[in-house]
Amino acid sequence: MKFSYRDVRYSQIVRAHDQAEAKQQLKAGVLVLVIPNERPKSLKFLCPCGCGEIVSVNLMPGNEKAWTLDYKPKRGISLWPSVWLTSGCRSHFILRNNRARLLFGKIPEMSSTELRSWWGEEEKTSRS
C-alpha cells in the first residue's frame, strides 16, 4: 500500500498556566504547553489538517494514555508516539521538531537512517 504525507509547521511555542489560558492562546501555527506547576500537563494546538479542531495531548502518565514530550531549544517540540485522532477528522500525524507530518496510508517500517532521511535530517557522524 502506498502512503503520502503533508507537513505543517508550528512556528511558535507558548506557555499557559491553565486550560482557560491555553484556549485563549490557541491559533494556527502555535503549540501551547499547559504547565500549571513545574511539569508540563498537556500540549494543545489546532489540528494540522486544517479542520479547526483543538488537539489536546496528555503529557501526565497515570490514568490515561500519555505521550512523551521532547524539547530541543533550536529545534522545538517532538511527541512520541504519533497522534491518531479517533473522532472528527481522524487525522494521523507525527509531531517532530515543531513540524506535524500528516500521514495518509500505511507507513512502511524504516531503519533509523531511513527515518532521518525521510525527515530531511543529516546523519550524525561521530569523530574518533
Residue-level pLDDT at 128: 40
Residue with cell 494556527: 28
Residue-level pLDDT at 62: 85
Tell me if 127 is assigned to some domain. no
Give the pLDDT means over successive 10-residue stretches in the chain (128 positions).
81 96 96 94 95 95 89 94 89 94 73 75 52
117 phi and psi angles, rounded to 5 deg: -65, -40
Number of structural domains in the chain: 1
Residue-level pLDDT at 123: 53
Q: Cα(34)–Cα(25) distance, rounded to whole angstroms? A: 11
Residue range of the domain that includes 50: 4-118
Tell me if 11 is assigned to some domain. yes
